[in-house]
Amino acid sequence: MIVPGSALGVLGSGQLGRMFTIAARRMGYRVHTFSPDSDTPTGQVADVEVTAPYDDLDALQAFARRVSVVTFEFENVPSAATSAIESIVAVHPSPEALHISQQRAREKQFLADRGFPTVPFAVATTQGELASALARIGTPAIVKTAESGYDGKGQQVAASADEAGRIWSSLGARVLVVEKRINLQAELSVIAARGLDGQVAQFPLFENRHRHHILDLTTAPAAVPAAVAAQAIEIARGILEALDYVGVLCIEFFLSTDGDLMVNELAPRPHNSGHLTFDAAVTSQFEQQVRAICGLPLGSTELLRPAAMANLLGDLWAEGEPDWAAACRQPDVKLHLYGKVTPKPGRKMGHLTAMGRTVLEAQDRVISARDALLR
Ligand code: ADP
Ligand code: MG
């Protein structure tokens, strides 16, 4: 067990690392963060902020020697980086779990090989393979780069197989994943944690709405039939076991209009859809990550009240500083800002969480609080 007072290392320095750090420091841990940037969302609240590129293996090893365990808040850390520190200090989740979830084709194949339901997909590494993959999967299809995509970046919709040439040159990637476009009834996520001793705990199912492929709103608990929730949780637990996972994992699901549940993707870390646990659950996803990687027993994942979370993107700053007091005027709304200096369209600057007697009440509150920012 890694006891409070020890130092925890985080690779990456965004808002996920910031909220992890807040949870860890509340429990008496110290936190060191490593990323190529300075004055970062994580660095502003950590004990130590190391600024160096992820391929500076000497700097990584020096960082690793000063902490008792390393985790990451960003999955595009090169696997050479985690391999370089593995011999010095424990890394949770494992570099292997990171490696699998870093690349869409590998991740989907891992899931499909073990019988977990995924969106029908095909992998293409040339323009010719892309054309035949589109013909095989059928259009409309969504073509995604296998690596480094987030918030819908690196994705194109193919209306017909004739578009292979255009998409191949616009994505310019070496490995592409072609997916059938699913008619979505709902997008759901399960955030679950597995401890060093194999104990598993999951939060209630979350329901997610996206705008322009970026998460916009999460509500909890999700309004889905109990059988769907049970199936999602069973799949999530199976994936944690299959990966021999330690830490917090998010599994994003699609529920089709036909009622089929499919895994969309995995995030090997706390996730945007779990931000509402910070205010609305007995244990937040960030505290759960601290507990899991330190070998402490997992905390209760019970939701205190129905809740909703709305993201605050940089677009809200288009006409100047948002009216924070207006959002805070709602007593059940919590404001979270990540300390990012420059607002940009599509950039996640913060979020609001609201609680209510019902999910709908929480949702109405969080939306009206966000609308009030611009008034
Ligand atoms: P990212 O890594 O950017 O989160 P995702 O694969 O999760 O990438 O895609 C982002 C969003 O785009 C999804 O949450 C969903 O709204 C939409 N989307 C992606 N793939 C599909 C698909 N095959 N069918 C329907 N919608 C999709
Ligand atoms: Mg996603």
Q: Check which CATH number belongs to the domain holding 162 and give it.
A: 3.30.1490.20
Residues 210, 196 share a domain: yes
Higher pLDDT, 346 or 150: 346
* CA-to-CA dists, residue 19 to 10, 13, 183, 361, angstroms: 11, 10, 34, 26
In a domain, 153, yes or no: yes
CA of 271 to the centre of ligand 2 (A): 10
CA of 150 to the centre of ligand 2 (A): 7
* CA-to-CA dists, residue 42 to 70, 96, 195, 249, angstroms: 14, 25, 24, 20
Residues 262, 138 share a domain: no
CA of 156 to the centre of ligand 2 (A): 14
Q: Please state the atom number of ligand 1 nearest to the C-alpha of residue 151.
A: 3
Hey, which of 119, 142, 156, 257 would you mutate to test ligand 1's pocket, going by the most ligand atoms within 8 Å of its Cβ? 142
- Paired residues of 248 in beta bridges: 193
Residue 80: the pLDDT is 85
Nearest-angstrom CA–CA distance, 35 and 50 = 7
Residues with CB under 6 A from ligand 1: 119, 142, 149-152, 179, 181-182, 184, 187, 210, 213, 252, 264-265
pLDDT at residue 173 is higher than 90: no
Q: Please state the atom number of ligand 1 nearest to the C-alpha of residue 252.
A: 7
CA of 329 to the centre of ligand 2 (A): 32
- Paired residues of 254 in beta bridges: 187, 262
CA of 103 to the centre of ligand 2 (A): 13
In a domain, 254, yes or no: yes
Residue nearest to atom 13 of ligand 1 (CA): 213
Quick one: how far is CA 221 from the chain centroid? 18
Q: How confident is the model at residue 181 (pLDDT cuts 50, 70, 90)?
A: very high
Q: Please state the atom number of ligand 1 nearest to the C-alpha of residue 144.
A: 6
Q: Please state the atom number of ligand 1 nearest to the C-alpha of residue 119.
A: 23
What is the average pLDDT across 361-368? 98
Residues 320, 205 share a domain: yes
pLDDT at residue 152 is higher than 80: no
CA of 252 to the centre of ligand 2 (A): 7
Number of helices and strands in the chain (H, E): 12, 18
Q: How confident is the model at residue 257 (pLDDT cuts 50, 70, 90)?
A: very high
Residues 195, 328 share a domain: yes
In a domain, 111, yes or no: no
Residue nearest to atom 22 of ligand 1 (CA): 181
Hey, which of 264, 266, 272, 273 would you mutate to test ligand 1's pocket, going by the most ligand atoms within 8 Å of its Cβ? 264
Task: Indicate which ligand has the atom closest to the C-alpha of 121.
Answer: 1
Residue 327: the pLDDT is 94
Residue 174: the pLDDT is 81
Nearest alpha-carbon partner for 327 in 374, 362, 360, 364: 374
Residue 76: the pLDDT is 87
Q: Please state the atom number of ligand 1 nearest to the C-alpha of residue 180.
A: 23
Q: What is the DSSP letter of 339?
A: -
In a domain, 354, yes or no: yes
| Last residue within a domain, chosen from 52, 75, 91 | 91
What is the average pLDDT across 19-26? 98
Residues 252, 128 share a domain: no
Q: Is the dihedral of CA 130, 132, 136, 140 positive or negative?
A: positive
CA of 265 to the centre of ligand 2 (A): 6
Residues 286, 368 share a domain: yes
pLDDT digits (tens, 9 = 90+) for 93-112: 999 999 999 999 999 999 99
Residues 328, 209 share a domain: yes
Residues 86, 18 share a domain: yes
Hey, which of 16, 155, 212, 257 would you mutate to test ligand 1's pocket, going by the most ligand atoms within 8 Å of its Cβ? 155
The domain spanning residue 25 has which CATH number? 3.40.50.20
Number of domains in the chain: 3
Residue 148: the pLDDT is 80
| Burial of 160 per CB tally in 10 Å (0-12, 13-18, 19+) | exposed
Q: Please state the atom number of ligand 1 nearest to the C-alpha of residue 210.
A: 16
Domain span at residue 247 reads 184-372
CA of 338 to the centre of ligand 2 (A): 20
Residues 210, 168 share a domain: no
Residue nearest to atom 17 of ligand 1 (CA): 213
| Last residue within a domain, chosen from 91, 108, 134 | 91
Residue nearest to atom 12 of ligand 1 (CA): 213
pLDDT digits (tens, 9 = 90+) for 264-306: 999 999 999 999 999 999 999 999 999 999 999 999 999 999 9
Percent of the chain surpassing pLDDT 90: 93
Q: Please state the atom number of ligand 1 nearest to the C-alpha of residue 184.
A: 25
